[in-house]
Amino acid sequence: MEKVLILTGSDSDIHVMEKAAEVLDEFGVAYRLTIASAHRTPDYVKRLVSGAEKKGAEVIIAGAGMAAHLAGVIASHTTLPVIGVPIEASGLGGLDALLSTVQMPGGVPVAAMAIGKAGAKNAGLFAVQILAIKDAGLRKKLQAYKARMAASVRKKAAKFEAERKKGKK
Ligand code: RP5
């Protein structure tokens, strides 16, 4: 059963939204990733959202660029938590999509992530965190993920300091 639906506004966004999918793969969370546009295929977006909800999806991730209305439109159709990823797709560096995603009117929340690949990665992690509220196995995996991340930074720091010391000799 797909726990997460990932929608993205265009095939030109896929390379960014794959980062969310990679996280869900890593945590063993079932998902569907597909393309649907708030502006170009509004009815299809609505059908996908209600279909996913009926099939038991618990979180929706939406990535879009430019006047990024996808996450907000999805949030208008569902009570599931919606995570929005602003994508850089114009000369404005993604600021257009960030503001469109984050500035939701009161009553219709969207959890807005950072612009681009870091935001997509965090959307995947945030979805896992939501699912982990009632899944102890996922919680353990998240703890292990954080421990690995901390260990990797410590390793880099030790290497950096050792190399710097060597250079000063
Ligand atoms: C948005 O418009 C999409 O999410 C995409 O980021 C942007 C440009 O879409 P294309 O013209 O590349 O299909 O709706």
Which of 12, 44, 70, 74 for a ligand 1 pocket mutation test, highest count of atoms within 8 Å of Cβ?
A: 12
Instruction: Write the residue with the smallest CA distance to atom 1 of ligand 1.
Output: 65
Q: In the predicted model, what is the mean pLDDT of residues 27-34?
A: 98
Per-residue pLDDT tens digits for 101-153 = 999 999 999 999 999 999 999 999 999 999 999 999 999 999 999 999 999 99
- Can you give the pLDDT at residue 168? 81
- Can you give the pLDDT at residue 92? 98
On the question of pLDDT at 73 being above 80, the answer is yes
Percent of the residues in the chain that have a pLDDT greater than 70, as a whole number: 99
d(CA 116, CA 13): 9
**Atom number in ligand 1 closest to CA 38:** 14
On the question of pLDDT at 75 being above 80, the answer is yes
Mean pLDDT of the chain: 97
d(CA 45, CA 43): 5
Check pocket membership of 62 for ligand 1, CB cut-off 6 A: no
Indicate yes or no: pTM above 0.75.
yes
CA distances 114 to 57, 101, 137, 164, Å, are 23, 10, 27, 33
